[in-house]
Amino acid sequence: MKFPQAHSLQQIATIIDCEFVGPADFPVTGMNEIHVVTPGDIVFVDHPKYYDKALNSAATVVLINKKVEAPEAKALLISDDPFRDFNKLTRYFKPFEKAPKSIADSAEIGEGTVIQPNAFVGNNVRIGKNCLIHANVSIYDNTVIGDNVTIHSGTVLGGDAFYYKNRPEGFDKLLSGGRVVIENNVDIGANCTIDKGVTGDTTIKEGTKLDNLIQVGHDTVIGKKCLIASQVGIAGAVVIEDEVTIWGQVGFRSGIVVKKGGVMMGQAGITKSTKENTVYTGNPAMEARAKLKELALLRQLPKLLQKLK
């Protein structure tokens, strides 16, 4: 998430009321999670296990809960609770904005686009040309939709990330300030839920088709010309490359890469990154040929046991 304009390190420290290490006028241009940070961004870290990863990331400002030596050309924000203060920054730069009507005045709707009754289109949404948005679709603030997109009833674009910190008093939610971006010629079935990024974009690229009842987690990127069948669940920060086929009830763990041209057979559990142009089945998933060989060998077990008697 980039700020509307650059802020100084001192200005950011004032917003969250914390110490800083570095020049007061050190420029800060945005904030992001570690997997999408770019120079000028703030990243937060609150566990020693991840200190080195954050300090050596592309981020130039690290919001951290311990005084450490700042790497060259980087600055620090010292906080007793980086998670809380990252949320403060999200509230400051992306506050919730109440929508005064079902289609917000700030929404941009392209020529030839049809929005059926009872659909909701939030603030600063952009919808391209010749789209069809069916009844009871909810498109939350800042979503971007390209041309020739069809979205069926009951689908929600832009829900919050499922991201919580476990505290003694209960679960503390990490606020979401990102977007959903849908490119051209995408079809989305009924009752799908596509969560916005925490700070970046959840993206579905050109030509991809989604069936009904699909969950897409925060910051996930789905490539071009993918085909995804019903009841698929995709966790946050997954990258699915181009031309991947996913059959019904497949589940994906967070943070993995599904390589181009892969086929995920029904009910597969994808727990690690995959190979290009490879078919997977089973839970946990493995290459289909290997799985079939394994099953064939298992079928021989009764005969082998009988011979041992």
CATH 3.40.1390.10 range(s) for the chain read 2-93
pLDDT at position 306 is 78
User: What's the confidence (pLDDT) of residue 98?
Assistant: 94
Give 79's DSSP letter.
-
pLDDT of residue 228: 98
CA dihedral 71, 74, 77, 80 (to 10 degrees): -30
pLDDT digits (tens, 9 = 90+) for 258-278: 999 999 999 999 999 999 999
Per residue in 123-142, pLDDT tens? 999 999 999 999 999 999 99
Taking the C-alpha atoms of residue 13 and residue 19, their distance in angstroms, rounded to an integer, is 6
How many alpha carbons lie under 13 Å from residue 27 in its C-beta half-sphere?
Answer: 7
Which residues of the chain fall below pLDDT 50?
none
Secondary-structure class of domain 108-292 per CATH:
mainly beta
> How do beta strands 138-139 and 156-159 pair?
parallel
Q: Which of 7, 134, 152, 218 is catalytic?
A: 218
In CATH, what class is 2-93?
alpha beta
Give me the residues paired with residue 114 across strands: 132
Contacting residues for 81 by C-beta, under 8 A, at least 6 apart: 46, 65
Mark whether 218 is an active-site residue. Answer: yes
What is the per-residue burial (b if ≥16 Cβ within 10 Å, else e) of 261-280? Answer: bbbbbeebbbeeebeeeebb
Strand residue runs (E) in 57-208: 61-64, 75-78, 108-109, 114-115, 120-121, 126-127, 132-133, 138-139, 144-145, 150-151, 156-159, 164-167, 170-173, 179-182, 187-188, 193-195, 201-204
Q: Which residues contact 178 (CB under 8 A, 6 or more apart)?
A: 1, 161, 196, 197, 198, 199, 200, 201, 202, 218, 219
Domain with CATH 2.160.10.10 in the chain: 108-292
DSSP 8-state code for residue 35: G
DSSP label at 49? Answer: G
Q: What is the DSSP letter of 191?
A: T
